[in-house]
């Protein structure tokens, strides 16, 4: 896992401070104020090396926070070392987990820090920091001072670690919710596309079945047999289509009952003027430019997709930039594909809308299904543009 420059600097600073603190404690324990000389002892030297080892372990405090914290509390608990490494490790532990383990380890760090502060307060006046802070010689006052100072020192890394952890958890939750919302939108768009394909193909298969039935009645026996086969095949295809689309749309099991009467075909390219007229009646000025070669012969999936993209784009303008207006351009033809563009000015004071962004996700999903390209977002001219290209293959 790659680490950021700030993380590396923070780790180096933490290790350096912990090592310097260990050197100070070692010198304070073994320094003789009377002779002004340093007399290293075996226990003091072992404590120094153990504290330096705990300081080096801080490099892995985010990878193994519990293990590093457990190692860091050993020198101040069992030796004459300081507890700075344990406090830093406790902050990392609070960042990664907030459960009983954290509070149990926090209690252990509290005891280890208390021991370290008590030892420091018990040194001669020239070699102590805690003693000078508390400024008292009575045992009761010293105990109270040690407890209060320890609580403050332990509370600081705990608070920092918990706040950082909560912030990271909130950011992760927001990211997961956004991804889930986008996935739900994609699924809904796929379901809508499946429904539309069911309506369009079902309508055509029904017409084929009716025409084959008429041919069966008004033809020769041989032709009637062929027409009967066509009608039966169309009927079976309609039932299979209903079952497959039903599974894709909402996951229901395959059924054997008679298929329902298909709904009317979905709106297509030829319905764009009506869509624009309805939008104008809703209070949004819209300029429509259509330059299409053979719009009525466009494949049903392509025709429906263009209509739905324009519809969703205009809905977004009504929702996020009411009263501004929009320019809609649709052009293309067989072989060249269809290029569409919906542009509107950005609202001066855009208010957040519930479900914001899901419509654009649905547009991207619909374009992706057909193998097209789409882009959307604000431009340098303070406009919001939705641009898409959809392939129109020729047979």
Are residue 52 and residue 119 in the same domain, yes or no?
Answer: yes
Domain boundary among 135, 162, 195: 135
Counting the structural domains of the chain, the total is 3
One domain, residues 338 and 236:
no
Looking at the fold, whether 246 and 286 belong to one and the same domain comes out as no
Residue 34 lies in a domain: yes
Q: Note whether 10 and 129 are same-domain residues.
A: yes
Against a cut of 0.75, is the pTM above it? no
Range of the domain at 379: 269-390
Cβ atoms within 10 Å of 356's Cβ, excluding its own: 14
Q: 227 in a domain, yes or no?
A: yes
194 & 291 share domain: no
226, 275: one domain? no
Whether 164 is in a domain gets the answer no
- pLDDT at residue number 133: 62
Measure the CA–CA gap between 23 and 7, rounded to whole angstroms: 24
Predicted confidence at residue 120, as pLDDT, reads 78
Q: Is residue 256 part of a domain?
A: no
Same domain, 233 and 277: no
The reply to whether 124 and 16 lie within a common domain is yes
- In-domain check, residue 182: no
CATH of the domain at 338: 3.30.565.10
Residue 113 falls inside a structural domain: yes
In a domain, 95, yes or no: yes
Count Cβ atoms below 10 Å from residue 79 Cβ, excluding itself.
Answer: 17
Identify the segments of the chain with pLDDT beneath 50. 1, 251-264, 352-355
CA distance 76 to 26: 12
**Does residue 289 fall inside a structural domain?**
yes
Provide the b/e sequence for 226-248 (b: ≥16 CB within 10 Å): ebeebbeebbeebbebbbebbee
Same domain, 306 and 385: yes
Structure tokens at 243: 């079952």
Same domain, 363 and 318: yes
Dihedral (CA of 75, 79, 81, 83) sign: positive
Give the number of C-alpha atoms closer than 13 A to the C-alpha of residue 299, restricted to the C-beta side: 15
Q: Which residues contact 255 (CB under 8 A, 6 or more apart)?
A: 243, 246
Structure tokens at 377: 């977002």
Find the largest Cα–Cα distance for the chain: 128
Residues 71, 23, single domain; the answer is yes
Cβ-based neighbours of 137, under 8 Å, separated by 6 or more: none
Q: Are residues 379 and 340 in the same domain?
A: yes
3 state SS for the chain: CCCCHHHHHHHHHHHHHHHHHHHHHHHHHHEECCCCEECCCHHHHHHHHHHHHHHHHHHHCCCCHHHHHHHHCHHHHHCCCCCHHHHHHHHHHHHHCCCHHHHHHHHHHHHHHHHHHHHHHCCCHHHCCHHHHHCCCCHHHHHHHHHHHHHHHHHHHHHHHHHHHHHHHHHHHHHHHHHHHHHHHHHHHHHHHHHHHHHHHHHHHHHHHHHHHHHHHCCCHHHHHHHHHHHHHHHHHHHHHHHHHHHHHHCCCCCCCCCCCCCCCCCCHHHHHHHHHHHHHCCCCEEEEEEECCHHHCCHHHHHHHHHHHHHHHHHHHHHCCCCCEEEEEEEECCCEEEEEEEEECCCCCCCCCCCCHHHHHHHHHHHHCCCEEEEEECCCCEEEEEEEECCCCC
In this prediction, residue 330 carries a pLDDT of: 93
């Amino acid at each position: 896992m790659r680490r950021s420059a700030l993380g590396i600097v923070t780790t180096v600073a933490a290790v350096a401070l912990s090592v310097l603190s260990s050197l100070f404690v070692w010198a304070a324990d073994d320094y003789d104020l009377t002779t002004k000389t340093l007399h290293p002892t075996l226990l003091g030297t072992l404590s120094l090396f153990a504290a330096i080892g705990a300081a080096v372990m801080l490099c892995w405090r985010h990878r193994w926070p519990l293990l590093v914290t457990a190692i860091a509390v050993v020198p101040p608990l069992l030796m004459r070392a300081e507890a700075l490494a344990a406090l830093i490790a406790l902050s990392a532990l609070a960042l990664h987990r907030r459960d009983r383990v954290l509070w149990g380890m926090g209690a252990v760090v509290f005891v280890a820090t208390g021991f370290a502060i008590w030892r420091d307060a018990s040194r001669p006046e020239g070699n102590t920091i805690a003693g000078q802070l508390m400024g008292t010689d009575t045992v009761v006052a010293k105990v109270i001072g040690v407890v209060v100072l320890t609580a403050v020192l332990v509370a600081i890394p705990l608070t920092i670690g918990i706040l950082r952890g909560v912030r990271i958890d909130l950011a992760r939750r927001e990211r997961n919710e956004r991804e889930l919302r986008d996935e739900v939108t994609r699924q809904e768009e796929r379901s809508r596309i499946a429904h539309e394909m069911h309506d369009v193909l079902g309508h055509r298969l029904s017409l084929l079945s009716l025409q084959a039935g008429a041919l069966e009645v008004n033809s020769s026996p041989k032709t009637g047999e062929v027409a009967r086969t066509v009608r039966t095949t169309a009927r079976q295809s309609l039932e299979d289509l209903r079952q497959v689309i039903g599974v894709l749309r909402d996951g229901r099991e395959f059924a054997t009952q008679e298929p329902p009467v298909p709904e009317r075909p979905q709106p297509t390219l030829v319905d764009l003027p009506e869509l624009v007229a309805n939008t104008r009646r809703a209070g949004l000025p819209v300029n429509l430019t259509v330059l299409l070669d053979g719009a009525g012969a466009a494949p049903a999936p392509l025709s429906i997709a263009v209509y739905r993209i324009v519809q969703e784009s205009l809905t977004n303008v009504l929702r996020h930039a009411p009263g501004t207006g929009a320019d809609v351009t649709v052009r293309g033809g067989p072989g060249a594909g269809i290029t569409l563009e919906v542009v509107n000015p950005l609202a001066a004071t855009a208010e957040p809308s519930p479900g914001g962004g899901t419509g654009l996700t649905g547009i991207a999903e619909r374009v992706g299904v057909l193998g097209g390209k789409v882009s959307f977002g604000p431009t340098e001219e303070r406009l919001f543009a939705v641009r898409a290209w959809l392939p129109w293959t020729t047979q």
